[in-house]
Structure 1
Amino acid sequence: MTGQHLDLCSPVPMPSTMTADNRRESSRYLGVQFACCDVYSRVYANREGTEYVGHCPRCAKRVRFGIGPGGSDARFFIAQ
């Protein structure tokens, strides 16, 4: 058919409301292995960008990781 083809080489156009910076900000997370229930979950940054806040998906144990100077470059942690 004329005009219908799959273009795998060109970048996907982004909607005007979603820029690369917005997408990067909204997907900031840490990987956390919760030792209490032996499960993994992602913990996302809060709206203010001051800390990562989350909980164990099984027992709801809360975790918080502060964001600031002198922090860690690690992206994965084990919560005891």
Structure 2
Amino acid sequence: MNGQLLDLCSPAPAPTGSATDGRRESSRYLGVQFACCDVYSRIYANRAGTEYIGHCPRCAKRVRFEIGPGGSDSRFFIAQ
């Protein structure tokens, strides 16, 4: 490695846009506490980005949250 230096003081270069966008899309989720079975699970946005769809991991009760204008600042919900 003659002539090559490792710079540990400078900030790392920013990742390319496609890597950041993919990670951001895959991490779009809501945390849901299912009261029916007292379990927590994440539900993820559908491919169209119009709603979050999921189900209770124990009894399969389905939940659906539409994504609308204005939205909500909450990321965690309780499904009754």
Coarse TM-score class (shorter-chain normalised):
0.7 to 0.9
In the alignment, the residues of structure 2 paired with residue 29 and residue 41 of structure 1 have an alpha-carbon distance, to the nearest angstrom, of 10
Q: In structure 2, do the counterparts of structure 1 residues 12 and 76 end up closer, same or farther at CA, with 3 Å as the change threshold? A: farther
Query: Which stretches in structure 1 are left out of the alignment for 5+ residues?
Result: 1-6
The total of aligned residue pairs comes to 76
TM-score by length of 1: 0.78
In the alignment, the residues of structure 2 paired with residue 34 and residue 26 of structure 1 have an alpha-carbon distance, to the nearest angstrom, of 22
In the alignment, the residues of structure 1 paired with residue 36 and residue 55 of structure 2 have an alpha-carbon distance, to the nearest angstrom, of 11
Query: Which stretches in structure 2 are left out of the alignment for 5+ residues?
Result: 1-7
In the alignment, the residues of structure 1 paired with residue 47 and residue 19 of structure 2 have an alpha-carbon distance, to the nearest angstrom, of 17
Partner of 2:3: none
Deviation of the 1:71 alpha carbon: 2.0
Q: Which amino acid is the alignment partner of residue 66 of structure 1?
A: E
For the pair shown, which has the larger CA radius of gyration, 1 or 2?
A: 2
Matched-pair identity in %? 76
Deviation of the 1:72 alpha carbon: 1.1
Deviation of the 1:21 alpha carbon: 1.2
